Amino acid sequence: MTLSKASSVETHATGGTLFGLMSSLLDALDKPLLVADRSGRVLFANLHAQDALHWKDETEDVKPNLFRDVLHVDAKGLFGQLERGEQEVNLPMESIGGLARARIRWLPEPDWLVIFAEPAPLRAPVDQDQMRQTVNDLLQEREITYRNLLAAYLRLQEVNRQKTVFLGSAAHELKTPLAVMKGYYDLMLSGSLGHLTEKQRDILQESKQSCDRLVRLVSTFLNYTALESGKLVLQFQDNDILDCLNDVVIRWKEAFQRANVHLEASFGEDLPIFKFDYPKIQQCVTNLMDNALKHTPSGGRVTLEVRAHFWERRVSPVTPPKERRGARRPQANSVIVSVSDTGLGISAEYHQEIFEDFMRVDPSSSGMGLGLAITKRLIQAHHGKIWVDSEPGRGSSFKFLLPTKVEAYTYA
């Protein structure tokens, strides 16, 4: 096909010099550009278009037609779109340097079409390869990140295990000397080793209290490490919860009197004998009493309560709601124990966190932030649950539920 620059616009050029200038400018464009009339006759093709369409053959008589030879579309349809007001019609164009996109605009006054060819936004085979490559790269990166995270997690776990082992052996080493010290304090305070002056007795009493605190701390560490390493085995036996809690009250009476905090016990009736680990539940209540006393100012009150309770979630199988409404009173299947104080209270944002390991709301307060974490694990090991109701300035109420029926251990 022949499309020399001079002959490409045959009818509308207004002057040779101006036309020469124009076509040089259009040749300088870095994209193929075509101009055609309504019949599809190509009036102008810049150098890029001629190269891309291989219209170099000067001997060719037949003029290329835009619709037939380039776009392979029906002229009517295209003009229909443009005359309906579409600014630009985009069509795929395979003949220019592989897959391209033709952006077609209509100039109504001369009734010409101007076509810019540009690479299609997605060149399928190349882009698919590139995309596959990118996806592979991303997957590889993710794999590496995952492995690094896993390695970091395993390292942390190992460090955590070592910490637990260290804590456990340190606590174990302290246990015996502390027991010996405690024994001697008791012996001296009993007067068996000779008469004590008032001052000596006071000093010994204070030392014994410090020793008791250390014993509790060591016991906390031992419990924590046993729980952490999975070595703790609970002894489930038929026990009386009233006896269990009464013992705790008797043990704590004196400490509460010394702190001028009123201790009240309110125990419900018809409490069943059920299987639980007596010393471990005592330990839980002791932790709660210890906290209540620590956080309640002089003149305050702490109440220990226990009641039979119907724990709906633990009923298996679930009783249909209709039948439940009809029944007079659901049968208790658990006990609820609470330790309530009139102390400082805890703001809502800490209600979950205080049950986590080493968590203390006030870091300057005494304690290791382990008491509630251990209590929670022990209660959960009994298939129970623990939570707190509290408001700053209005005291706190720690409550835990223990299922009393074996079948109630299974979740509904």
**In this structure, what token pair is assigned to residue 243?**
């006896």
For ligand ADP, which is the closer residue by CB, 74 or 353? 353
Q: Find how far residue 7's CA is from the centre of its chain.
A: 72
**In this structure, what token pair is assigned to residue 265?**
């016990």
Q: Which residue in the set 47, 215, 255, 359 belongs to the binding site for ligand ADP (CB under 6 A)?
A: 359
What is the total count of residues that contact ligand ADP (CB under 6 A)?
A: 22
Q: Which residue in the set 64, 168, 371, 403 belongs to the binding site for ligand ADP (CB under 6 A)?
A: 371
Q: Which residues pair with 267 in a beta bridge?
A: 306
Site for ligand ADP in 275-294 (CB under 6 A): 287, 291-292
Per CB under 6 A, the segment of 22-30, 89-97, 143-151, 369-377 that binds ligand ADP is: 369-377
Contact indicator for 404, 411 with CB cutoff of 8 Å: no
Contact indicator for 333, 408 with CB cutoff of 8 Å: yes
Strand ranges in 120-159 using DSSP code E only, listed in sequence order: none
d(CA 85, CA 338) in angstroms, rounded, equals 78
Under rule CB under 6 A, residue 167 binds ligand ADP: no
Q: Which residue in the set 210, 229, 365, 380 belongs to the binding site for ligand ADP (CB under 6 A)?
A: 365
For ligand ADP, which is the closer residue by CB, 304 or 354? 354
d(CA 198, CA 185) in angstroms, rounded, equals 15
Under rule CB under 6 A, residue 396 binds ligand ADP: yes
d(CA 154, CA 367) in angstroms, rounded, equals 29
Under rule CB under 6 A, residue 361 binds ligand ADP: yes
Instruction: Using the structure block, give the residue that is written with the tokens 């805890």.
Output: 346
CB of 345 to ligand ADP, least distance (A): 6
- Residue 277 region, left (φ>0) first, then alpha (ψ -120 to 50), else beta? beta
CB of 254 to ligand ADP, least distance (A): 20
CB of 175 to ligand ADP, least distance (A): 19
Under rule CB under 6 A, residue 344 binds ligand ADP: yes
Which residues fall within 8 angstroms of residue 59, CB to CB, at 6 or more apart?
Answer: 2
For ligand ADP, which is the closer residue by CB, 64 or 395? 395
Binding mask 291-310 toward ligand ADP (x if CB under 6 A, else -) reads xx--x---------------
* SS3 assignment, position 277: coil
Residues that bind ligand ADP (CB under 6 A): 287, 291-292, 295, 341, 343-344, 346, 354, 359-362, 365, 367-373, 396
